[in-house]
Amino acid sequence: MTDSAGVPAIRFTGCSKRFGETVVLDDFTWDVPVGRRVAILGPSGSGKTTLLRLVMTIERLDAGVIEVFGRPIATGRDVPSSRQISERQVREVRRDVGMVFQQFNLFPHMSALQNVTEAPIRVLGKSKEEAAEHGRELLRQVGLQGKEDAPPRQLSGGQQQRVAIARALAMEPRIMLFDEVTSALDPELVGEVLEVIRQLAEHSSMTMLLVTHEIGFARDVADEVLFMEHGRVVESGPPEQVLGSPREERTRSFLRAVGPH
């Protein structure tokens, strides 16, 4: 494994991104060590979701480089053309990254199990039997045994999001990105999704970036908290420090605003 010799799971070097006039990421440099669970907090528009979308290559980087296990996955327009990476290389590196979305984004025309097995069969080239077996196992892990044949529209929001987690896991990524995965859920469904992620954090060694508004969950699962605003890091550190006794006034007022935990 290349990540043994201190190579970070994700390395951001001088990353910038703007949408029109709005700067959402400003000269951002940061290493995520292998196996680290990072909770990313911040007010809306602080750039935290964009950070994940840049790693997933959904958004294009304006400047800088993002590397995954030492290999570039995204390069900014400022990077000389000799160091730009091909679509094929991006796909190679992207294999290690999985993502769960705020809006689930399940494929509505496929059953729960098909959602989970589609990419392993067609992208990883697994046999149908192998993918189905693994898919059933993953659905069982997220508590959806018996829902294999259900189409997404027959599942609750919490169940859909758990299918989405299983779908991402089926690709066996070494890094998982969770983008506000409970924000679109009714309050009573939030718990079941967070519990699945908690279990996952406990029983795997995956590197995780979690953009969330659930402060209690961040305290439980994360071993690092990053507080962002206006595309910059306001402060970062262990959860008990950032959430318990924040150094920065901005962090304090944000935590006060989202309520006591």
Residues in contact with another protein by the rule CB under 8 A: 53, 56-58, 91, 94-95, 97-99, 101, 103, 105-109, 118-119, 122-123, 151, 153-154, 164, 167-168, 171
The smaller minimum CB distance to another protein, of residues 99 and 215, is found at 99
Strands 175-179 and 207-211: parallel
C-beta closer to another protein: residue 71 or 230: 71
Q: In angstroms, give the least distance from the CB of 147 to another protein.
A: 15
Q: Is the alpha carbon torsion for 106, 194, 148, 153 positive or negative?
A: negative
**Is beta strand 63-68 parallel, antiparallel or unpaired with respect to 71-75?**
antiparallel
Q: At what angle do helices 157-169 and 128-141 cross, to 10 degrees?
A: 130
**Closer Cβ to another protein, 96 or 229, answer by number:** 96
Q: Is the Cβ of residue 183 or residue 236 nearer to another protein in the bound state?
A: 183
Report the candidate in 6, 5, 2, 9 with the shortest Cα–Cα distance to residue 209: 9
Q: Considering the complex, what minimum distance in angstroms separates the CB of residue 109 from another protein?
A: 5
Q: How far is the CB of 130 from another protein (least distance, A)?
A: 17
Q: Encoding tokens for residue 154?
A: 């027959």
Tell me the CA distances in angstroms from 55 to 72, 108, 144, 238, one per residue in order: 10, 25, 29, 23
C-alpha distance across the termini of the chain, in Å: 39
Which of 123/258 has CB closer to another protein?
123
Counted residue by residue, the chain has a size of 261
Q: Which is nearer to another protein, 56 or 242 (CB)?
A: 56
Q: How far is the CB of 171 from another protein (least distance, A)?
A: 6
The minimum distance between CB 10 and another protein, in angstroms, equals 15
Encoded tokens for 149? 């044949």
Q: Which amino acid is at 179?
A: D
As measured in angstroms, the least distance from the Cβ of 239 to another protein is 27
Query: Is residue 228 a contact partner of residue 236, using CB atoms and an 8 Å limit?
Result: no
